[in-house]
Each structure stands twice: as C-alpha cells, then as structure tokens.
Amino acid sequence: MPEVLPEKGDQLRLVAVHAHPDDESSKGAGSMARYVREGAQVTVITCTGGERGDILNPQLAGDETILADMPAVRRTEMAAAQRVLGVDHEWLGFVDSGLPEGEPKPELPEGCFALVPVEEAARPLVEAIRRLRPHVLTTYDENGGYPHPDHIQAHRVSVHAFEMAADPEYAPELGEPWEVSKLYYINGFSRSRFTGIATFLRDRGTPDEELEAMAERFPAGTDRLVTTRVDISDQLEVRDAALRAHATQVDPLGFFFHIPNDVLRESRFATDDYELRTSRIGVTLPETDLFAGLR
C-alpha cells in the first residue's frame, strides 16, 4: 500500500489507545489538548470501563454511593475529562481485569480484557482505525508503561490493530483498509525526567527530597528512548483539570500534582515524551511534533 499522506488542508487525525478511564488524562493529555486546539481530530479509545478500579482519592474513600455503581461513576468521570480535553471518545467495550496483588498473585477474572485473545480483542480497534483513519496512533510500550495486565494487553491489541488495519486481505467486513503513518509509545515517566527536574530545583537552591526519591524508584539504565518531545507549556492546567475530573482515581494532593507547573515550565520539562516505534513515512529524529512529516 502506498504512503497515505494528508491532502493539503486535510484535518490531521490522532487516535490514543488507553486501558482505563483516567489513563488518557495522566499520559499524553497535554499533547492531545494541544492538538485539539490546533484543529486536529483527536480520539481517545478506552479499552475497558475501569469497573474494577479502587477509590484512590482518600477524600472519597468508603463512599458507599460510589462503591454501589463504580462503572457508572467511571463513565461520568470520563465524560467530564473528555469535555476538558476537547477530544472525541469511544469505548472498546471490554471488562477491566483489575490489578492482581499478593503472593502468589490471584488468577485474573474470567472474561476480563487481559484474557481475551489478542486477535479477537483487536477487531473493534481495527474497525475504529479504518473508520477514523488516523495519521498517528499512540499506545503503551510492551511493558504497559507499568505492568498492569490491561496496559500490557492494550499494547498488544494496539500493535496488532496497527498492522491489521492496513492489510487489505484482513477482515474486509471491518471497513476499507487504512495505513496509520506513525505509531508512538507514550513515555511519560522516567528516571532522567525526575532527575532532571530534581537537579534544576537543587541548583536553584530549593531541593525536593521527595522528587529525588521518586527518581530513585526507576532503576538506572532502564529509561526508554525518547524520540519526540511535545511542548505542552500552555496545556498544563488543562491536563490538571482533566486529571481532577477523575475524582475517584486521582488524589488532588498526590503524585501527579507534586511538581508545580511553573517548575515544569522553568526547567523545560513541560513536555509530553514519546518513543516513535514505527513510521511508514520518512522522519528526522529527534522530533517536537507527533505529526512531523505529515503537515
């Protein structure tokens, strides 16, 4: 299949695949909000409903109203975050696998997303790609960003759908084939990022021991390649508002809000970081734009 490049004046399109409602707001939200405001069509596809999520906001812990219907709460929160970011949104329709804890780890629940065969789980995403015709697809790396079974499955499903959506021989009932030009892994958290910000604070005389401890949680030498840094200086407050929309999942005094936005701007770490995994067009690295080579 020949390269599919946008026609002059054609709207640029991005699809971001995430495992649960709230993941879109903690991973790549600033760049999505930026591209929406620049006129791109951005669609978040959430693989599961987050049905097995816990209440992670201590201010809401034990709220019986929330616990009585967590799936409905997660959908309401997702709709609120969607409005903040300005993105389109679709559910892939699978059931949250939960995060198994303890030793030995318990078996995953029957019928959950992580246990669905990859080709079966990828079919609705293939249909969405062929219908939405994105130029860029973002997802997690093979470790899921962190080893939650749904994040790892989201990676597998995304990579499979990226390939199969372009194959004219595969499942013609799912629509006309579409070749996504670029596939990115979201690279949101790294030792080098936290170390860089901590060094900036120490150099200016305001060391942050908690931030330095965060950096140490990432083993040395395990950072992934960053090929693309998207400036989100103007979208940090939008990102924060989207995160807070997931009130059951995000502690407003917690990890995600530890580093003030002015520090991110001053330290030049007000970026969303990505790893370009596959490109079907010519590229020049490093990049500052997920749509580089497509504009």
Which positions make up the binding site for Zn(2+)?
20, 23, 151
| Measured distance CA(133)–CA(179) in Å, rounded | 8
Contacts of 157 (CB under 8 A, 6+ apart): 17, 47, 118, 121, 122, 125
Determine the Cα–Cα distance for residues 153 and 263; give it in Å rounded to an integer: 35
DSSP secondary structure, 71-114, as one string: HHHHHHHHHHHHHHHT-EEEEEEEPP-----SSSPPPPPTT-GG
Q: Give the residue from 242, 254, 265, 273 showing the smallest Cα distance to 87.
A: 242
> Which residues are documented as binding site?
20, 23, 151
DSSP state of 217: T
Alpha-helical regions (H) of 135-208: 149-164, 191-203
Cα–Cα separations (whole angstroms), residue 160 to 118, 119, 124, 152, 262: 8, 7, 12, 13, 39
Closest listed residue to residue 46, CA positions, set 70, 77, 68, 67: 77
- Contact (CB, 8 A) for 32 and 54: no
Question: Which residues, other chains included, contact 225 with Cβ-Cβ below 8 Å and sequence gap of 6+?
Answer: 187, 275
Burial class for 15, CB neighbours closer than 10 Å (0-12, 13-18, 19+): buried
